Structure 1
Amino acid sequence: MARRLHMLGEWDAALAALGPDAEPELRAEIAVDRWFFRIEGHEEAEKAVGALDPSSPTAHLLTARLAYSRLLFRRDPRPDDRAVAEAGYRAVVESGDEKQRGWAEYHWAVLLDNVDENAADVIPRYETALEIATKYGDGYFESYVIRHLAPHKEPVERIAMLRRSLHLRAALGARPQTIAAQALLADNLPENDPERAELTRTFRPGAKELRIGWLLSED
């Protein structure tokens, strides 16, 4: 139940549905996602991550994601956040868990892309992540990778990748991610394109309902 509520963007309900014996990794993942989408609940997210085995790939990955998000959203960033983020991703890449490595390669690329604005080094990491997503037939993971790889492509391929990301997310019932994909696709279409207007009318009510902070801030 908690996983399903998580996919629907019902983060509070998902956390409430977890019993006392629930997997601590699941609790931490949900809490970090809630923080990332709503930009609220950081203290609870950090506490949930702190309850994990600090040497585990999940702990490294979520610690790095929290550090990255503080930098990205400029929400009380810490002096060592950049170093903490990269160290966490590197630890997961070196852990030997291939699926976790794929996510770490992806998040590392996003760090380079959005914080460092280092376009030269991001493509190989995105492509490695995409290879792993494709190998395992993981459409959810693929939707994340191609969403961020798309801006580095020519317009026709970019729009095709953004549409595929949207369709993958919608098919999987990942509501917050679908709304975010609608917003990004709209932003990449010409201003006079009717599809852009329709996507905008579609995603904004959902973003308000789920309180997706970084989409609402663009209104």
Structure 2
Amino acid sequence: MISNDAYMASRLHLLGEWDAALAVLEPNSAPQLRAEIAVDRWFFRMQHHAEAEKAVSALDPASPIAHLLTGRLAYGRLLFGRDARTDDRSAAEAAYRAAAEDGDEILSAWAEYHWAVLLDNIDEDAAGALPRYEKALQVATRTDDGLFESYIIRHLAPHKEPAERLAMLRRSLHLRAALGARPQTIAAQALLAEHLPEEDPERAELLRTFRPAAAELRIGWFLFED
């Protein structure tokens, strides 16, 4: 049974209240949840990287979740160009491979998804990424995991024809909004706006909606835009 503080932390995490989520956890309790929140906070805000690494280092280093989060940290450093290390590319892939091979079905699917993102965004290797996206999507849809599906189709969408692309981006947005995943919803609004024509009224409405919300949560990707 989940403890009250872990439940509160999970709900705050979903809302993008990362500082509050970490604060409600008792010291030395729920190390996996703490690490997941700390890594997400760093990824969205591009702050507190050292704290995220420390939280991950508190996990069993051989565990699949430790591998997955280690890979996410390395990928984020590469993607954002913040304190990137010379071995980040190889370290990320090795971590995702280990998580995919050793984790349970869901965690392995998440590792396949993150591995696909690495291939897609860092290597620009769509041919290598697409089968991994599809493999992860099969698990997400079979297990009715809407949040996981929203992540996968968000990254699959740019590889599709325009009509299917927009349908996928809208579904990703609707799934996230329905689940109350606020930072992810903001990111989905921004990506959908990016793919709509400049004169489209929906695009203008999305821009008016997500920008103040992104500023409130201090999402780093948007704070550093012109």
TM class by smaller structure: over 0.9
Supply the AA of the counterpart residue of 1:202. Answer: T
Q: Within the alignment, does 1:61 sit opposite 2:68 as a pair? A: yes
Q: Deviations over 1:60-101 (max 9, x none)?
A: 000000000000000010011011100010001111511001
Which sections of structure 2, spanning at least 5 residues, go unmatched?
Answer: 1-7
Q: Under a length normalisation based on structure 1, what TM-score does the superposition of the two structures give? A: 0.99
> 2:122: which partner in 1?
115
Q: Within the alignment, does 1:169 sit opposite 2:176 as a pair? A: yes
Corresponding residue to 2:53 among 46, 49, 55: 46
> 2:4: which partner in 1?
none
Deviation (angstroms), 1:176: 0.2
> 1:129: which partner in 2?
136
Supply the AA of the counterpart residue of 2:170. Answer: R
State how many pairs are aligned: 219
Supply the AA of the counterpart residue of 1:32. Answer: V
Supply the AA of the counterpart residue of 1:138. Answer: D
Which sections of structure 1, spanning at least 5 residues, go unmatched?
Answer: none
Distance 1:23 1:102 in 2: 23
Distance 1:206 1:78 in 2: 32
- Does the 8 Å CA contact 1:133/1:142 hold for their aligned counterparts? yes
Supply the AA of the counterpart residue of 1:109. Answer: A
Distance 1:92 1:24 in 2: 18
- Does the 8 Å CA contact 2:176/2:182 hold for their aligned counterparts? yes
Q: Kindly report which structure 2 residues correspond to 1:1-219, keeping only aligned pairs within 5 A, or say none.
A: 1-219=8-226
Residue 10 of structure 2 aligns to a residue whose secondary structure is helix
Deviation (angstroms), 1:33: 0.1
Supply the AA of the counterpart residue of 2:195. Answer: N
Residue 171 of structure 2 aligns to a residue whose secondary structure is helix
Supply the AA of the counterpart residue of 2:30. Answer: E
Deviation (angstroms), 1:23: 1.1
Distance 1:21 1:119 in 2: 41
Q: Deviations over 1:84-123 (max 9, x none)?
A: 1000100011115110011001000000011111111111
Supply the AA of the counterpart residue of 1:98. Answer: E
Between the aligned residues of both structures, percent identity stands at 76
